[in-house]
């Protein structure tokens, strides 16, 4: 099982998080004016270069244009490109094109909004054109899929994990207080935290103490199985 944390803006905090046991370091690559923690491609690339060897860089993009997504991947060179837009904005055909044109050293992850039983079929479809899925929560007023701080029906996520044949990361309102229960219900390949590991009241600054508590909660769960990323 891997631990993924979003959304870093500070290089030193990203490095410190890896050193305390975070596997995947997430950040928003590209300033599209939709959220508060965007990095320029150059700033994102600096984080990629600074992450210790045991860590994995995960670049989330708010872009919906295939060429722009590929441009980001080429300039930032993350280990994982995370497509966070809603499925109708980057559809199956677009995902297939991105997957085919990405460097073979870069994996493709699609965020799936978990809402009801219909989400299972959506996840199954997108698993065909992705290397990983991230199951998250959408909410009115929040762009794309995720970063809402809200949980969703973990039983639906459990069904997705059981149905698809690629690794699944569970996200959506996970914190040190509820992640063990989520792990027990869903049994995902990885777990993700964003808002609950921020400094209180901030959508930009990470709280290293909260990150440490999240890592400790995950690793002390009886359902935690140590494991590295897909290629490390």
Question: What pLDDT, in 10s, does the model give residues 67-97?
Answer: 999 999 999 999 999 998 877 889 999 999 9
Q: What is the rounded distance in angstroms from the CA atom of residue 194 to the CA atom of residue 172?
A: 8
Q: What is the rounded distance in angstroms from the CA atom of residue 36 to the CA atom of residue 6?
A: 12
Mean pLDDT lowest for which of 4-13, 72-81, 83-92, 181-190? 83-92
Task: Name the strand (E) or helix (H) holding 127.
Answer: helix 118-127
Per the CB < 8 A criterion, the answer to whether 51 and 80 are in contact is no
- pLDDT for position 148: 58
Mean of the per-residue pLDDT values of the chain: 90
Can you name the residues that pair with 132 across neighbouring β-strands? 109
Question: What pLDDT, in 10s, does the model give residues 217-227?
Answer: 999 999 998 86
CA dihedral sign of residues 91, 97, 101, 106: positive
pLDDT for 139 beyond 60: no
Q: Domains, the chain, ranges and CATH?
A: 2-219 (3.20.20.70)
pLDDT for 147 beyond 80: no
Question: What pLDDT, in 10s, does the model give residues 40-53?
Answer: 999 999 999 999 99
| Band (20; pLDDT cuts 50, 70, 90) | very high
SS3 string of 34-46? CCCCEECHHHHHH
Mean pLDDT lowest for which of 39-43, 54-58, 196-200? 196-200
| Band (34; pLDDT cuts 50, 70, 90) | low
pTM for the model stands at: 0.92
Q: What is the rounded distance in angstroms from the CA atom of residue 160 to the CA atom of residue 158?
A: 5
Q: What is the mean pLDDT of residues 189-215?
A: 90
- pLDDT for position 232: 45
pLDDT for 146 beyond 60: no
Q: Distances from the Cα of 64 to the Cαs of 23, 89, 96, 178, in angstroms? A: 27, 6, 14, 32
Residue 226, CB half-sphere, CA atoms under 13 Å: how many?
A: 3
User: Which pair of tokens denotes residue 48?
Assistant: 């990629």
pLDDT for 140 beyond 70: no
Mean pLDDT lowest for which of 113-122, 137-146, 166-175? 137-146
């Amino acid at each position: 099982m891997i631990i993924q944390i979003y959304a870093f803006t500070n290089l030193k905090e990203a490095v410190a998080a890896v050193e305390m046991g975070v596997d995947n370091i997430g950040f928003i690559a590209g300033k599209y004016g939709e959220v508060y923690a965007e990095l320029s491609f150059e700033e994102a690339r600096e984080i990629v270069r600074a992450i210790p060897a045991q860590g994995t860089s995960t670049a989330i993009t708010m872009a919906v244009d295939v060429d722009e997504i590929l441009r980001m991947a080429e300039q930032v060179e993350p280990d994982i490109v995370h497509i966070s837009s809603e499925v109708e904005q980057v559809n199956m055909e677009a995902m297939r094109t991105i997957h085919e044109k990405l460097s073979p050293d870069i994996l493709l992850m699609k965020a799936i909004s978990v809402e009801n039983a219909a989400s299972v079929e959506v996840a199954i479809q997108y698993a065909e054109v992705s290397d990983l899925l991230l199951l998250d929560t959408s909410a009115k007023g929040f762009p794309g899929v995720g970063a809402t701080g809200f949980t969703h029906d973990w039983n639906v996520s459990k069904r997705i994990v059981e149905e698809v044949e690629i690794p699944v990361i569970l996200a959506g309102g996970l914190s040190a207080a509820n992640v063990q229960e989520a792990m027990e219900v869903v049994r995902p390949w990885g777990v993700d935290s964003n808002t609950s590991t921020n400094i209180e009241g901030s959508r930009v600054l990470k709280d290293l103490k909260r990150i440490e508590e999240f890592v400790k909660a995950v690793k002390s769960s009886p359902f935690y199985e140590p494991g590295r990323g897909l290629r490390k």
